[in-house]
Amino acid sequence: MNIFYHELKAYRKSTIIWTISLVAIVMLFMSFYPGFSKDTEAFKKVMENYPPAIRNALGINLGNLVSILGFYCFPLSFITLCGAIQAMNLGTSIISKEVREKTADFLLTKPVTRTTVLTAKMFAAFASIVITNIIFIAAASIMAFQVKTDDFSFKIFIMLSLTMFFVQLIFLALGFIVSVSGLKLKSVLSVSLAVVFAFYFLGMFSDTTGEKVKRYFSPFKYFDNTYILKHASFEASFLVVGAIIIIAAVAASFMIYTKKDIHAV
């Protein structure tokens, strides 16, 4: 438990900065909605000139753009990208930092097992992500009610907002795998950015082909905002795949970490 609180405190500043940044982005974009709702046709004409793949990558659906939920999907695509970077960076750094900072041997001489250490660190990372999402969803909800011009489904709004949380969980788990892999990471952020943007561009590529099977290669495409708006539900097959990735990554992280050699200083 001491390890959990220590890690939570160590990443407190990072969590606060990321949370404030995500809240600022959603508040900025949502503040544009009242003015946008008065002249949607002009914006639609501009967006019609963009290829469908680009519009999909930006979270723009011309049919739903008039409503506040459809408009919310636009900034949500950028916010999810930022959230994925936060989660990947956190998952990668929270375990590998012991090797980078040469404190691994000190930590492992304590009367705790490696499983306990890894569990505490994972829960601390998970708690940071949960805190970020609670504050973000609360701020986004307040802003949506402030700028709305018509009634909207709050249930769907929450479902759309939760897509960032689910994507973050996947990248957090991938970050754990990278952190225990034994690679000497000189810069955690550069690795996190490379992985996240690689998956993001894979998602954009899947949009150009329109093939559903290619969506499985990018976590960013596991949650289709248009599908959520239409059916008020998530696509079960992608939820299952996402859960499998998380479980497999966490399980593999435990297996690798408990058996790997930790070099002393």
Structural domain range at position 97:
2-259
152: nearest Cα among 17, 10, 33: 33
Q: Who has greater pLDDT, 53 or 38?
A: 38
d(CA 26, CA 15): 17
Residue 265 lies in a domain: no
CA 238 to chain centre: 15
- What are the pLDDT digits (tens) for 7-36? 899 899 999 999 999 999 999 999 988 877
Q: How many domains does the chain have?
A: 1
247: nearest Cα among 136, 188, 169, 189: 169
45 contacts: CB under 8 Å, gap ≥ 6:
none
What's the pLDDT score for residue 73?
Answer: 87
Instruction: Tell me: pLDDT of 148 over 60.
Output: yes
Query: DSSP letter string over 188-199?
Result: HHHHHHHHHHHH
Query: DSSP letter string over 41-74?
Result: HHHHHHHTTS-HHHHHHTT--TTTTTSHHHHHHH
CA angle 126, 261, 179 (to 5 degrees): 30
d(CA 77, CA 33): 16
| Rg of the chain over all Cα atoms, to the nearest angstrom | 20
Residue 204 lies in a domain: yes
Average pLDDT over residues 230-245: 93
What rounded mean pLDDT belongs to the chain? Answer: 84
What is the end-to-end Cα distance of the chain in Å, rounded? 26
Provide, rounded to the nearest whole percent, the portion of the chain with pLDDT above 90: 43
CA 185 to chain centre: 22
Residue 25 lies in a domain: yes
Instruction: Tell me: pLDDT of 105 over 70.
Output: no
Confidence band, pLDDT 50/70/90 cuts, at residue 112: confident
What's the pLDDT score for residue 15?
Answer: 94
Q: What share of the chain is helix, strand, coil (3-state, %, to 5)?
A: 80, 0, 20
Average pLDDT over residues 110-115: 74
Instruction: Tell me: pLDDT of 166 over 60.
Output: yes
- What are the pLDDT digits (tens) for 51-71? 666 666 666 666 667 788 988
Confidence band, pLDDT 50/70/90 cuts, at residue 191: confident
Residue 144 lies in a domain: yes
Instruction: Tell me: pLDDT of 237 over 80.
Output: yes
Contact of 26 with 136, CB cutoff 8 Å: yes
- What are the pLDDT digits (tens) for 210-235? 667 888 889 998 998 888 988 899 99
What's the pLDDT score for residue 219?
Answer: 93
Residue 264 lies in a domain: no
- What are the pLDDT digits (tens) for 79-90? 999 999 999 999
71: nearest Cα among 32, 13, 129: 32
Question: What's this model's pTM, rounded to 2 decimal places?
Answer: 0.89
Q: How many CB atoms lie within 10 A of CB 226?
A: 15
175 contacts: CB under 8 Å, gap ≥ 6:
87, 88, 89, 90, 91, 92, 93, 94, 125, 192
Residue 58 lies in a domain: yes
